[in-house]
Amino acid sequence: MAIQSPSIDLGGTISVLLGRSGVSRGYWQSVGRRLRRDPVTLICAAILILLVAAALLAPWLGLADPYKTSMLRRLNPIGSPNNLLGTDELGRDMLARLIYGGRLSLFMGVTPVACALLIGGFLGIAAGFLGGRVNMAIMRTMDVFYAFPSVLLAISLSGAMGAGAENTLLALSLVFIPPICRVSESVTTQVRGFDFVDAAKASGASTLAIVRVHVLGNVLGPILVYATSLISVAIILAAGLSFLGLGVKPPEPEWGLMLNTLRQAIYVNPVLAALPGVMIFITSICFNLMSDGLRAAMDVKA
């Protein structure tokens, strides 16, 4: 599975909407109206807000202890008394572990993308705006990472550094820096050719001032939309590393690790064993659909 860097057409998304040197307020109002009229994006956003709220408020929801085991309650079916979603292979409450597991799974999905956004975005904007040897050095370095599929690269980095949440976060951050850098460089190169950038240069404005005032406002939108689509990939990769024993360590509740520990239970209670996978699927598809909705709302030609 390789992470693709989509070609982003900024001709309609940016140039039509520029007031003087930045995106007009009317553009963002138009984006907001489009999002409010998109029921799929709104539903996905509501589901994600609910998942995040449940994960953050888990200690105050009156849930069972997600670490407490009981050999007498192993693999209780869904709907059992005091265990709404049953129990796992060690008798731990599945509902509590799924909700607490959402903390780690969402954190492992958002944090690497956020770190990669800061580093890759900075490198991409620098490469796109400065061009020349700086562009060559940065982008050829990023191309080295593209020689490896993202899954293989993540497994290799995690295997080399060892299992653990911290190493998984570092490995995934390194995996996502190249695609974000490439998208950032692409959109910055297009914005650099606009007339208002040339006018700012002719007026004697410094490079830092031009990037801060004239460039960032026009490139952050497409970069953030693309980064949003990577969160679902990060969640799946983090779950896959935990499933392989290269991610979060037991007994921490994490959806990928729960799939691993419940794999033998598929012959006894397949529905129970599939619950962590269902959570991964729902979360990933919501992030993907929400990213598509943001991209469509920002495309003024649609």
What range does the domain containing 104 cover? 24-64+92-298
pLDDT digits (tens, 9 = 90+) for 57-91: 999 988 889 998 888 888 888 888 888 888 888 88
Single pTM value for the model: 0.86
Is residue 145 in a domain?
Answer: yes
Q: Looking at the 3D structure of the chain, how many domains does it have?
A: 1
Cβ distance 47 to 55 under 8 Å? no
Give the residue from 7, 42, 33 showing the smallest Cα distance to 290.
42
Is residue 70 in a domain?
Answer: no
Is residue 134 in a domain?
Answer: yes
Is residue 81 in a domain?
Answer: no
CATH number at residue 46: 1.10.3720.10
Q: What is the pLDDT of residue 13?
A: 43
Is residue 10 in a domain?
Answer: no
Q: What is the pLDDT of residue 249?
A: 86
Q: What is the pLDDT of residue 20?
A: 40
Which parts of the chain have pLDDT scores under 70? 1-25, 27, 300-302
Is residue 157 in a domain?
Answer: yes
Is residue 79 in a domain?
Answer: no
Give the residue from 295, 116, 161, 151 showing the smallest Cα distance to 222.
295
Which two tokens mark 173?
A: 């951050």
Q: What is the pLDDT of residue 149?
A: 84
Is residue 73 in a domain?
Answer: no
CA distance 139 to 130: 12
